[in-house]
Structure 1
């Protein structure tokens, strides 16, 4: 008994000692301060920092003092000391330092590419994959096109490096950037000759967008990359060993169908394996849509085509590029942020986002004014150039609202009128989504709720003041990813039975290569030049998927474009590690398949999906027959003499798509049943898969037949059907579920979106 009592006491002592040791353990913390709130007894920030630190610790020393990236310092503190410091006047936050591997785009780490043995090292076959990027051209001097370590150009490559204004093939192309062409005839037919004083009549990218997308897809690794010190690290594209071929189809006046089709045709002939198009806008039938037409031809030749979903969210029915032979990509966030804090004169603090890197604001808070009170224009709240009254704005921080003109241009309008800073508030269209910008004056973007609070403060306080403090780069943001508000949403307005977008990928605040001929904001007044830029859009998420497709094609060279897309879709995730559903920043609620499609890409799992939903050219032709397309319309898409068989029943629901969109039409009483037919191909070892529907639907009876599929060899195919039954007289709006096949190792997921009209 005494021995047992001694053991218990010893264990308790150990536990108390361990707890005490953990409490005393020091870690590095970053202390963000409001410089304008420095107590008046201090004449210098350094004295304030020393005094604050000494008040909570006898031994802590300042590691660094920050004056431009943030106002504040770093120090080694215990958790208790950090909590005590955070309660002091003028301290915005005390944040623990994070240990991480730096990646400028961060997406390789965020997507698990750096942690997957399957991608380390990349196989030599990846270097034989060519990604064709149709965009604004290319800036060949970017370090992201360094060809060090690459072997000869793939032997099947037939492309060229075209000479043009400011573009010499001998010095522009190499073993990385193996092709560069430009297509301007359609543009010039509309606007006359290219104005070469403003843009190069050549593959050269004077805009930046094309270089950004190309390097996101396949940029070589570049160390010490950043934008003005933000997101410092090593930048690389998704398929860093793949080759790039640039096709310039977009000019200052836009991207014209004739040029796009010519470029797609040329790219097919050149021998690209993947085609990436971060452009769109057509909501026409497939046979009227140039991108859909070109993509069909590419698909026929085994070329994977990835397109952006569009930036017209969060409204429904806003998608572009919805043809089922195109992989349509929406946008989500990374776990990285660029915080910039607003501190009001009443002591309240708010967090926003900014990439401003210039001279900070004065130490004292400045007068704050609402733009709508500083103009005679009815839309003066939008801070359009020339609308602000200098006498009312000079020396002040101006609260502007988003809409119509570019975000950074609003700051220029404030600066042009003599303003010292800008707070850019979201409206109902953007809600709480924060997109960081490289502003031309001290500025930060804030969400709608924050903007409303600041506006109320301006209207109710007799002397409103504010300041803005910049927090640099922060990683580990949770939850992430979140579906961006701007990402275009379903349902599919052209074919409701096909769920779009297909999936989402990183598209918010993405850093990649940039043109040396334009500033990071793209505005004529921006004279800054940068090798890398941070921008947002589904234009950024599209090349992520293009690069991932190149990796998968390198590992599985015989897979069709539909097989590659299926692997990406059925392994995508819709649940965070904590079990919560993916969020939608536009609503603050869980997102739906109309927002995220199959979910967020998970590349390591996509390499080994277990089963795939394959689709052949004939399957797509049968799909066109189900749409009642005429022979001429089908021919315009397929370039074949295919004719629909009048004796055969074609069903859109039979297209072997990896997702299910089930639109019911209420047409009276009774039960309506829609049946979908699917074929699964085994691409793994022999296995038996069992089906489940998650969660079980209460509004629709879902029956899968058979409930079990056994595969005895690779490439074996099995057919199953899904019946959806609903009472027609009940209008329920929408309902969502997932169909999952699992063998215990693989989970093959398909989203289900049910709607009633």
Structure 2
């Protein structure tokens, strides 16, 4: 059966710098079963388009891309306008020979091959399984791929070269080689390396300075699957109203069927509820957490007050001992219109004569470019909301909270008669230790999931705050055209940085546990539910609980821990038919499901394990829409033995007194490897009248392995 889908393409940016493109295009997309001949597929695509567009020549011209490798599909544009501290030291045990055959596919903004992180000296030829081809272009000597849905409007660099820096940063986190002395103008100096430094990187440039296109994303996924990558890392976001509207969700399903895990960032719209993106259950969705290194910037004032701020990346050394300090209250442009707030320090708000050569205190999102243009030599920005990550600016700058901002205003006003004598100075940022880590970054997007009420997302969190990694010298470190500072390393924050951490952890596990399925890897990597171990035996001593007031909606199963993941014990496995059943339960029809499965799929023919979510997911979550509703549900789960050949696992439940959690089959006895056992978890409790959520857990233990699943009950009206 032939199905045509109208796909509204929206910009996909979860990048921590750069803006979203507001232009929207419309495409018609066909997806069906793969054909043996590429020629026959192309002919079919032209025929289908002609039936819609009617004019054969226009139909052929409107086609943008044919996907003929991993799946049979095409996209055509129609004239519709609408606008480490991960316990992985240098000495960590590695299986280098296998690691060098791991290929990490990255869909991003390209890669800067002249960065030391991508020095491939001694790597040799690509693995024999690699089927990809090379593209060579401007400012680029490597072999990767790039895509642009409208070649007539190609940007200046027609190559996989990274003009934005984001793709280089993410790639080096995943698989950059070890480089001693890496730093950002002396800040955060140390050895930089990816999680799997001997692995190969295959970059698919699908994002440009103007944004990312769904057509390009799907083309990159199609090629990555066909080229033979082992894992796919996508630090790109985009809210979708359904899985059918998300091309990466469709592509990731096809990747899953080929045994390829897709990892995606959760988004940077936290701490607001229901802001999480990339939520398909067959995708590993990653939130951002802090690590034990942080940056501290000292601001000193003439009255002796010092404010140490941990939310700044200031690489400027002060050229003077003191500078005069002022605020918009004392330096407002006299001709300012009433609709502009001078405290925002935006274009035209300040009197240039009163701010030149001074440090200016501003509120919220000040324009560093404007302040620099009027001669300001530094800025202090007060914020009402919590900020736990630093940013680089084109002039000395620092964030402070509202309380500190009020103190500085009081200081300025107390000396305003002697304005030029009210001194201040912003010192260069220093590296300090963050003993409170890990906690979830304030910007990291939170659940619950809007698309489905039965899935707990994000799956997990990983370091994503103030990450030093490779960068591109084709753009300044602030991405500002007024900034002439370029560097092969940069400090950036975002779930975009957390995502490749998890990709590399999965790749590391895969080098020891070769028969890992995507579902096994997604089976909560902090708690050892992976795959059949080969020869590795490690002692598990690391216990960690990431901190956040929004609990599992912020951090999912917990914090990433690659080393513990090497001792699996049990896994929660899933096949494409399990996910198809999930889609059936989400009211998708057989025709729509065939878009994912590449075959005619009847919901009535699929098995159903029953329970609240009917999906063998490692986490269990219950969403309540009514505060007066009692808690009553059950979860059916199956676990597969991949630890000891003979083992007895006992259920250990941890739950608050208000919540009754009963496990039916409290003991699971296994007689051989890969044996599967079922259990049922029954949860009961009173209405959540005065509380937001309840957290509990089920742990299966045979004394050697601990296999822990989070249980989360929450009231959506209070999120």
Q: Would you call these one fold, judging by a TM-score over 0.5?
A: yes
Which residue matches 2:350?
Answer: 388
Which residue matches 2:592?
Answer: 633
| SS at structure 2 position matched to 1:391 | helix
TM alignment of 1:361-376, pairs within 5 A: 361-370=319-328, 374-375=332-333, 376=336
Moved more, 279-288 or 267-276: 279-288
Could you tell me whether the CA contact under 8 Å between 1:310 and 1:538 is conserved in 2? yes
Instruction: Return closer, same or farther for 1:340/1:382 CA change in 2, 3 Å cut-off.
Output: same
Instruction: Return closer, same or farther for 1:356/1:545 CA change in 2, 3 Å cut-off.
Output: same
Which of 623, 629, 636 matches 2:582?
Answer: 623
Which of 519, 530, 534 matches 2:476?
Answer: 519
Instruction: Return closer, same or farther for 1:306/1:461 CA change in 2, 3 Å cut-off.
Output: same
TM alignment of 1:56-75, pairs within 5 A: none
Could you tell me whether the CA contact under 8 Å between 2:627 and 2:689 is conserved in 1? no
For these two proteins, the number of residue pairs brought into alignment is 612
Please give the alpha-carbon distance, in whole angstroms, between the structure 2 residues aligned to 1:551 and 1:647. Answer: 34
Instruction: Return closer, same or farther for 1:373/1:126 CA change in 2, 3 Å cut-off.
Output: same
Could you tell me whether the CA contact under 8 Å between 2:323 and 2:359 is conserved in 1? no
Residue 434 (structure 2) pairs with residue 470 (structure 1): no
Please give the alpha-carbon distance, in whole angstroms, between the structure 2 residues aligned to 1:371 and 1:599. Answer: 46
How far 1:564 sits from its partner (Å)? 1.0
TM alignment of 1:446-461, pairs within 5 A: 446-459=400-413
- Structure 1 unaligned runs (5+)? 1-106, 174-178, 585-589
- Superposition TM-score, scaled by structure 2 size: 0.81
How far 1:515 sits from its partner (Å)? 0.9
Could you tell me whether the CA contact under 8 Å between 1:383 and 1:414 is conserved in 2? yes
Please give the alpha-carbon distance, in whole angstroms, between the structure 1 residues aligned to 2:592 and 2:402. Answer: 46
Which residue matches 2:230?
Answer: 273
How far 1:469 sits from its partner (Å)? 4.2
Instruction: Return closer, same or farther for 1:281/1:448 CA change in 2, 3 Å cut-off.
Output: farther
How far 1:666 sits from its partner (Å)? 3.5
How far 1:425 sits from its partner (Å)? 2.1
How far 1:244 sits from its partner (Å)? 0.3
Could you tell me whether the CA contact under 8 Å between 2:315 and 2:429 is conserved in 1? no
How far 1:652 sits from its partner (Å)? 5.8
Which of 677, 685, 692 matches 1:718?
Answer: 677
Please give the alpha-carbon distance, in whole angstroms, between the structure 1 residues aligned to 2:713 and 2:413. Answer: 46
TM alignment of 1:396-415, pairs within 5 A: 396-403=358-365, 410-415=367-372
- Structure 2 unaligned runs (5+)? 1-83, 530-540
Give the greater-gyration-radius structure (CA). 1
How far 1:711 sits from its partner (Å)? 2.3
How far 1:480 sits from its partner (Å)? 0.8
Residue 105 (structure 2) pairs with residue 146 (structure 1): no
| SS at structure 2 position matched to 1:268 | helix
How far 1:449 sits from its partner (Å)? 3.3
| SS at structure 1 position matched to 2:623 | strand
Residue 372 (structure 2) pairs with residue 418 (structure 1): no
Which residue matches 1:748?
Answer: 707
How far 1:355 sits from its partner (Å)? 3.1
Which residue matches 2:148?
Answer: 184
| SS at structure 2 position matched to 1:441 | coil
Residue 635 (structure 2) pairs with residue 660 (structure 1): no
Which residue matches 1:158?
Answer: 131
Which residue matches 2:87?
Answer: 112
Instruction: Return closer, same or farther for 1:537/1:289 CA change in 2, 3 Å cut-off.
Output: same
Please list the CA deviations of residues 542-599 of structure 1 after superposition, one character each: whole Å capped at 9, or x if unmatched: 0111111111111111110110121514359xxxx99995334xxxxx4500011111
How far 1:253 sits from its partner (Å)? 1.6
Which residue matches 1:499?
Answer: 456
Please give the alpha-carbon distance, in whole angstroms, between the structure 1 residues aligned to 2:599 and 2:180. Answer: 49
Residue 402 (structure 2) pairs with residue 442 (structure 1): no
Please give the alpha-carbon distance, in whole angstroms, between the structure 2 residues aligned to 1:619 and 1:719. Answer: 15
How far 1:436 sits from its partner (Å)? 2.4
How far 1:672 sits from its partner (Å)? 5.0
Instruction: Return closer, same or farther for 1:617/1:647 CA change in 2, 3 Å cut-off.
Output: closer
Could you tell me whether the CA contact under 8 Å between 1:613 and 1:656 is conserved in 2? yes
Which residue matches 1:38?
Answer: none
Could you tell me whether the CA contact under 8 Å between 2:296 and 2:432 is conserved in 1? no
Could you tell me whether the CA contact under 8 Å between 2:163 and 2:209 is conserved in 1? no
Please list the CA deviations of residues 708-757 of structure 1 after superposition, one character each: whole Å capped at 9, or x if unmatched: 22223222221111111234595743111222222223222212220235
Residue 560 (structure 2) pairs with residue 606 (structure 1): no
Residue 454 (structure 2) pairs with residue 490 (structure 1): no
How far 1:284 sits from its partner (Å)? 1.7
Which residue matches 1:328?
Answer: 285
Which of 651, 654, 667 matches 1:691?
Answer: 651
Please give the alpha-carbon distance, in whole angstroms, between the structure 2 residues aligned to 1:539 and 1:667. Answer: 35
Which residue matches 1:127?
Answer: 100
Instruction: Return closer, same or farther for 1:744/1:456 CA change in 2, 3 Å cut-off.
Output: farther
Instruction: Return closer, same or farther for 1:469/1:667 CA change in 2, 3 Å cut-off.
Output: closer
Residue 636 (structure 2) pairs with residue 677 (structure 1): yes
Instruction: Return closer, same or farther for 1:372/1:733 CA change in 2, 3 Å cut-off.
Output: farther
Please list the CA deviations of residues 599-655 of structure 1 after superposition, one character each: whole Å capped at 9, or x if unmatched: 111111011132111111111111111112111211122222111117966666221
TM alignment of 1:246-265, pairs within 5 A: 246-265=203-222
Which residue matches 1:350?
Answer: 307
Please give the alpha-carbon distance, in whole angstroms, between the structure 1 residues aligned to 2:584 and 2:265. Answer: 26
Which residue matches 1:480?
Answer: 437
Please give the alpha-carbon distance, in whole angstroms, between the structure 2 residues aligned to 1:651 and 1:721. Answer: 8
Please give the alpha-carbon distance, in whole angstroms, between the structure 2 residues aligned to 1:245 and 1:488. Answer: 28
Please give the alpha-carbon distance, in whole angstroms, between the structure 1 residues aligned to 2:665 and 2:107. Answer: 44
Computed over aligned residues only, the root mean square deviation of the Cα atoms, in angstroms, reads 2.4
How far 1:274 sits from its partner (Å)? 0.5
Please list the CA deviations of residues 41-67 of structure 1 after superposition, one character each: whole Å capped at 9, or x if unmatched: xxxxxxxxxxxxxxxxxxxxxxxxxxx
Instruction: Return closer, same or farther for 1:699/1:347 CA change in 2, 3 Å cut-off.
Output: same
Which of 241, 244, 264 matches 1:284?
Answer: 241
Please give the alpha-carbon distance, in whole angstroms, between the structure 1 residues aligned to 2:148 and 2:468. Answer: 28
Could you tell me whether the CA contact under 8 Å between 1:183 and 1:263 is conserved in 2? yes
Which residue matches 1:73?
Answer: none
